[in-house]
Structure 1
């Protein structure tokens, strides 16, 4: 039977198979779980260096994962608050883009101002390479403490920036806050995998919804504080004080459960395995392209609404409308994925949200803003909510989850870095809105095509694995 398996499934010679079984035994001793045991029969059919698809494994509840309890759900709540204060605050940058363009940085072009938000987003995502590795090594608590302290510090420093002080704002908000939030972003997702396995997609969607709720409330607060009686300095200080209190609560709630890895996860090994995983590569490239469209609408929607004469009062709530749809979409994505699967949810959401970006060409009324904001927010929220669960599904070893999420987000950060400034260059100081809309929509559609390739690869892999299992008598 072994000979037949090698002929049809291209398994390594018996010596390599024995070596793999020995390594598999060591993994079972270190992390005893039903999921690992269930992966064994399927993984034996593959070379040890190949990248399997854990989504093919029956995701039944493993006894080592509590799936419930105050500590587990307290960790989810703490991670939710980290996202609320971190990426949720960053997603409200459209408020600053509008305020800087028309009031505070009038000597700078929209493209130059957009670099502040894009660099911020780039650092948040790219620093996942560092923070994800540190989580795998057991340095979760130091990363969270340092990141939260720096975030509070740089927000208060932002309040000291003067009108026309572009580089003061760029250094504090673009670079400083980007580094601080980047240190906490990936760990807040990775820590959930310590407590949940069967409900991991749902709990990660809840954590992701924290960013959406922050994106809903922060624009309302910032618009009323900055453009109200308090002004820019005191308004930013007030928001910094709120975030400081919530970040303190988050640090008190979150707890690790799994012991650190006895040896540091080698990024060289992870990259080598990832480079042979076509589905993972397509996902990373697609995310980089999709981020271009995501940040175009998130950063320019309020400015677009204001310049079309739709009223300052309504424009202030355009981002809130967008992120309200995203909040519902992220929660819905976690539920829908339990029935149709994470890859199907991911591809469907990205396809529809990419199409909605083109609708920005026709934005001219209150109704059009509401329709675009709600529909794009809902479906793009489904994409964002499924990023971490999808990467987790594509990761065959649980010890590599943090590293793989960090790599994927680092690659996607290229889109967040370049997307908004390039769209601003297409926009020009004459505000020609159809050009950046077509550009962003086209690039995001290209990302969706890569997600479709990812799904095709997963289906081929599932079919091949099924055939090999039958031939091996598993």
Structure 2
């Protein structure tokens, strides 16, 4: 004998609503899955604006201004250390300070991203801000020709701080925006470009001015600390962390079996190796090749200002060319320009 089974109820209308419609029996009213899903999506609707949303986006902008914006201004320190402060070290050895900083900014992000998924956003942002401020103030006490002091403060300390701040400050924007997410993240990442314009101008005038290294770095650290404090006060989370933590080991195993993904990661890795060369050496190369001091000081500013234009327009260009094609074209163009500096050097030496 067949047994009649009752389908599972997805959504039950309250009894008061049934009586309002004239029903007298306690019946379970079953709605289709699509309506139930729509009700859930309404509960999770993104604000797409509002005071909390835009203040969080502004805080993300400030963190990138003080994070990657400061790291990509290392060319000023590279020039100053090579000529005045670390004269016993080679240019390559000095560049390892900035390289170590940038490496930790990416590597520590792996840990920060996992902690962010577990709900430690405020811990990461506050700790990273305090560490960035402490590292820069400690850098001001570094003595000339004491390489290890600068490596530990600017390379290690500031690098870890950058790694703690980077991923959480961008990821929290997705709590408030979905339809406008790309636009708002573009605004946030412009903070790094603006920082790479403001910091070199400020550092060049401070380090090479009457304040000198110690007081100049302290003045820069004071600005960074004030902006990071404002960022921490502005940023707020909205969504709870996922109930089930992500299994990163299982995800990594699946990624390792994806051959196109592996090639993409390898290509991005190689691209990053050459990406920071002009940011670190452009100002020093300009001075070494008898350009005016003023032009050399602003060469890094010009580079970073043009970079901000590329950040904004790349999204529109990629819509027509495709992301892989645009990446290949940009990488070949950057590599050709960097190789062109070798020819320029050779012609100057002759």
SS at structure 2 position matched to 1:316? helix
1:177 maps to which residue? 158
8 Å contact from structure 1 (residues 137, 265) kept in 2: no
Q: Distance in 2 between matches of 1:205 and 1:107?
A: 41
1:163 and 2:183 are equivalent in the alignment:
no
Aligned partner of 1:235 in structure 2 is: 216
Which residue number corresponds to residue 250 of structure 1?
231
Q: Give the counterpart of 1:196 among 177, 196, 205.
A: 177
RMSD: 2.5
2:252 paired residue number: 271
Q: Shift of residue 320 of structure 1?
A: 0.3
Rounded Cα–Cα distance in structure 2 between residues aligned with 1:240 and 1:280: 40
Tell me how far 1:165 sits from its aligned partner: 1.1
- Match for residue 126 of structure 1? 107
Match of 1:333 among 292, 297, 314: 314
Q: What is the alpha-carbon distance in structure 2 between the residues aligned to residue 76 and residue 132 of structure 1? A: 18
- 2:75 aligns with 94
Provide the secondary structure at the position in 1 that maps to 2:47.
coil
1:257: Cα distance to partner?
A: 1.9
Tell me the equivalent position of 1:428. none
Picking from 80, 83, 107, the partner of 2:61 is 80
1:283 partnered with 2:281: no
1:298 aligns with 2:292: no
Give distance in 2, aligned partners of 1:170 and 1:265.
35
> Does the alignment pair 1:208 with 2:189?
yes
The CA distance in 1 between the partners of 2:325 and 2:172, in whole Å, is 25
Question: In the alignment, is the contact (CA less than 8 A) between 1:202 and 1:335 conserved in 2?
Answer: no
Which consecutive unaligned segments of at least 5 residues does structure 2 have? 1-32
Residues 147-191 of structure 1: CA deviation (Å, up to 9, x unaligned) = 000100010000000111111111110101111111001111111
Structure 1 residue 281 displacement after superposition: 2.3
Residue 17 of structure 2 is matched in structure 1 by none
- Report if the CA contact (8 A) 1:116-1:174 is conserved: yes
User: Per-residue CA shift, 1:212-238, capped at 9, x if unaligned?
Assistant: 110111001000000001000000000
C-alpha deviation, 1:33, in angstroms = 4.9
TM-score normalized by the length of structure 1: 0.62
Q: Does the C-alpha gap of structure 1 residues 303 and 433 become closer, same or farther in structure 2, counting only changes over 3 Å?
A: farther
Q: Which moved more, 1:184-193 or 1:169-178?
A: 184-193
**Shift in Å, 1:341:** 5.2
**Matching of residues 75-474 of structure 1 within 5 Å:** 75-337=56-318, 342-363=323-344
1:101 to 1:433, Cα distance in 2 relative to 1, 3 A:
farther
* CA deviation after TM superposition for structure 1 residue 264, in Å: 2.1
Aligned to 2:51: 70
Distance 1:286 1:120 in 2: 21
Give yes or no for contact 1:95–1:219 (8 Å, CA) kept in 2: yes
- The whole-number CA distance in structure 1 between the counterparts of 2:60 and 2:72 is 17
Distance 1:256 1:240, change over 3 A: same
Runs of 5+ consecutive residues of structure 1 not aligned to the other structure: 1-24, 35-61, 365-431, 435-474
Greater Cα offset, 160-169 or 194-203: 194-203
Instruction: Give how far 1:285 is off.
Output: 1.2
**CA distance in structure 2 between the partners assigned to 1:206 and 1:346 by the alignment:** 21
Change (3 A) 1:217 1:117: same
Deviation at 1:111, TM superposition (A): 1.3
**Contact 1:206-1:330 within 8 A present in 2 as well:** no
Q: Could you tell me how far apart the structure 2 residues matched to 1:153 and 1:248 are?
A: 13
Between Structure 1 and Structure 2, how many residues are aligned? 313
- Paired with 2:162 and 2:107, the residues of 1 have a C-alpha distance of 11
Secondary structure of the corresponding residue to residue 127 of structure 1: helix
Structure 1 residue 259: Cα displacement: 1.0
Query: Matched residues in 1 for 2:90 and 2:139: separation?
Result: 20
1:205/1:333 contact within 8 Å kept? no
